[in-house]
Amino acid sequence: MVDPEAAPPVYNEDGVDLTLIRWMLSLTPADRVATLQAHIYFVTLARESRRAREPHPRSDEHR
């Protein structure tokens, strides 16, 4: 049986989620880059999607 007291902490004293840091460090450098590139791709798509939904002002409204 695993002693819950012996488990590594999930958060540090500043509230940082250590599980995400441990997970990223468990990956190879190439896997880390691929993961970060996938996040960048997602953020880019989200931004483009938001811009596409924003109303575009008509050219005569800027005068």
In SS3 terms, 48-60 reads as HHHHHHCCCCCHH
* pLDDT at residue 24, as a whole number: 96
How many residues appear in the chain?
A: 63
* pLDDT at residue 62, as a whole number: 56
pLDDT by residue for the chain (63 residues), tens digit each? 667 677 889 999 999 999 999 999 999 999 999 999 999 999 999 999 999 888 877 666 555
DSSP, residue by residue, 10-49: SB-TT--BHHHHHHHHHS-HHHHHHHHHHHHHHHHHHHHH
* pLDDT at residue 40, as a whole number: 98
Using a cut of 0.85, tell me whether the model's pTM lies above it: no
DSSP count for the chain of H helices, then E strands: 2, 0
* pLDDT at residue 59, as a whole number: 65
* pLDDT at residue 46, as a whole number: 96
